[in-house]
């Protein structure tokens, strides 16, 4: 296996890891100043990094079998493209924000599963950001407010360099995650609160079913949903749909009504979920997960047949609730399952996929885990 020394002719200064995420509920509301309830997962992207005393950036990924080399000043909208844009974009964004940083040599040694809807891109951005923060003494990684500033740079990398108009939930989760908890992210005031979420304590497991249908967020659908939501807010004379009411939503143009209704009802479901979790009533959140999926499938139209089938098969075999997670159009679904039903749910989902002649799904558990950290 190619190592850092073979690639760059010296040892790295350290290793940094950042997790992917699963969103428990609160989907497609981050860019509407809404509330989301994601958690960081155990799967991590790991980068080995050495600081340079010039402006050069040399990047290599073992998973992608690909390299990029350039200077920070050469980074620009849509360049570099592909995976390298996420890492190089972070350097660009930190410099844009006024931080004094130089170049780096970086090797991606491990990655959150790619394309599974578990935010491998945010994990790459956040592990890079934490490494650069430490190597150039920015002093941001040690405090929650500093980590929010790093998350902002990662979001800028994704929005401005990669060109994906994503809303910021993934980067905040990867940098701020707390083991055994989900994070209540308020995307209007930028605050977060750790909410207890430990399914095992209730004899439950949160299963992740990767449909292996590969989504692409940079393509048109995500941006079209975001534009519709912004248009709806403007039509109501509000800065966002955060405080819109269902009564107001019915006054919108008919094509905007279901989109806006999803935002309003989903934010309400997040509040209800948090109330149940705070009250120690985790097993009761199942119907809220199901309702979230129905809203995403019918009102927001970001699901797909494979995600719908994963959820319905999981419920049939005993899941308390199931929904797609992440941007949709493929990627993963989650199912809240009594531990003794886990095997039955996995078999039922696999059988349903085989019968429909879909690719075999990849099924794993998800552990609410800590955010990005130095690991060597």
Q: Which of 105, 133, 160, 170 is catalytic?
A: 170
Per-residue binding string, ligand GLA, 259-288, x by CB under 6 A, is ------------------------------
The site for ligand GLA, by CB under 6 A, has a size of: 14
- Phi, psi (deg, nearest 5) at residue 176: -115, 0
The region of 73-81, 82-90, 162-170, 241-249 touching ligand GLA under the rule CB under 6 A is 162-170
Q: Using the rule CB under 6 A, is 170 a contact of ligand GLA?
A: yes
Residues 200-219 close enough to bind ligand GLA by CB under 6 A:
217
Stretch that binds ligand GLA, among 5-13, 20-28, 237-245, 263-271 (CB under 6 A): 20-28
HEC string for 65-89: CEEEEEEHHHCECCECCCCHHHHHH
Strands (E), the chain: 14-23, 35-36, 38-51, 56-61, 66-71, 104-110, 181-186, 191-196, 204-210, 321-324, 332-338, 362-365, 373-374
Phi, psi of 15 (to 5 degrees): -125, 140
In the chain, what is the straight-line distance between the N-terminal and C-terminal CA atoms, in Å? 19
Answer for the pair 168, 30: CB distance below 8 angstroms, yes or no: yes
User: With binding defined as CB under 6 A, does residue 27 bind ligand GLA?
Assistant: yes
Considering the complex, what minimum distance in angstroms separates the CB of residue 170 from ligand GLA?
5
Considering the complex, state which of residue 325 and residue 341 has its C-beta at the smaller distance from ligand GLA.
Answer: 325
330 binds ligand GLA (CB under 6 A): no
Residue whose token pair is 């909410």: 195
Does 167 engage in binding with ligand GLA (CB under 6 A)?
Answer: yes
Angle, helices 169-176 vs 120-135, to 10°: value is 50
- Matching residue, tokens 């019918």: 298
Stretch near ligand GLA under the rule CB under 6 A, chosen from 45-53, 140-148, 164-172, 270-278: 164-172
**Closest CB to ligand GLA among 49 and 169?**
169
Residue from 120, 166, 174, 367 in contact with ligand GLA (CB under 6 A): 166
Which of the ranges 22-30, 68-76, 102-110, 282-290 carries the binding residues for ligand GLA, by CB under 6 A? 22-30
CA–CA gap between residue 252 and residue 232 (Å, rounded): 7
The verdict on 326 binding ligand GLA (CB under 6 A) reads: yes
Residue 156 touches ligand GLA, criterion: CB under 6 A? no
Q: In what order do the strands lie in the sheet with 181-186?
A: 35-36, 181-186, 191-196
What distance in Å separates the CA atoms of residue 295 and residue 289, rounded to the nearest whole number? Answer: 10
- The closest of 154, 144, 166 to 85, measured between CA atoms, is 154
Q: Does 30 bind ligand GLA (CB under 6 A)?
A: yes
371 forms part of the interface with ligand GLA (CB under 6 A): no
Residue 170 annotated in active site: yes
Show which residues are catalytic: 170
**Interface residue list for ligand GLA (CB under 6 A):** 23, 27-28, 30-31, 119, 166-170, 217, 326-327
């Amino acid at each position: 296996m190619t190592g850092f020394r073979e690639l760059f002719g010296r040892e790295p200064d350290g290793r940094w890891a950042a997790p992917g995420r699963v969103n428990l509920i609160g989907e497609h509301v981050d860019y509407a100043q809404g509330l989301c309830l994601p958690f960081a997962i155990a799967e991590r992207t790991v980068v080995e990094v050495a600081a340079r005393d010039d402006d050069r950036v040399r990047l290599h990924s073992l998973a992608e079998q690909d390299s990029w080399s350039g200077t920070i000043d050469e980074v620009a909208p849509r360049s570099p493209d592909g995976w390298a844009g996420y890492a190089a974009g972070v350097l660009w964004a930190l410099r844009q924000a006024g931080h004094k940083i130089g170049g780096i040599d970086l090797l991606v040694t491990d990655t959150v599963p790619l394309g599974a809807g578990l935010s491998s891109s945010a994990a790459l951005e956040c592990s890079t950001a934490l490494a650069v923060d430490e190597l150039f003494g920015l002093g941001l990684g040690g405090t929650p407010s500093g980590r929010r500033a790093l998350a902002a740079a990662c979001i800028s990398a994704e929005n401005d360099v990669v060109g994906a108009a994503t809303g910021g939930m993934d980067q905040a989760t990867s940098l701020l995650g707390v083991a055994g908890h989900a994070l209540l992210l308020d995307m209007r005031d930028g605050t977060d609160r750790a909410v207890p979420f430990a399914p095992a304590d209730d004899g439950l497991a949160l299963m992740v079913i990767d449909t292996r249908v590969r989504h692409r967020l940079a393509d048109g659908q995500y941006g079209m949903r975001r534009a519709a939501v912004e248009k709806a807010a403007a039509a109501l004379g509000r800065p966002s749909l955060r405080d819109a009411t269902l009564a107001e939503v019915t006054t919108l143009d008919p094509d905007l009504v279901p989109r806006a209704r999803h935002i309003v009802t989903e934010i309400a479901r997040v509040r209800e979920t948090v109330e149940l979790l705070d009250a120690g009533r985790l097993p009761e959140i199942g119907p809220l997960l199901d309702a979230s999926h129905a809203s995403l499938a019918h009102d927001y139209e970001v699901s797909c047949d494979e995600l719908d089938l994963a959820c319905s098969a999981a419920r049939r075999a005993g899941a308390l609730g199931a929904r797609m997670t992440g941007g949709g159009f493929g990627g993963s679904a989650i199912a809240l399952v009594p531990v003794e039903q886990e095997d039955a749910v996995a078999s039922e989902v696999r059988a349903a996929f085989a019968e429909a002649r879909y690719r075999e799904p990849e099924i794993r558990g998800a552990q609410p885990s800590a955010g990005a950290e130095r690991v060597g």
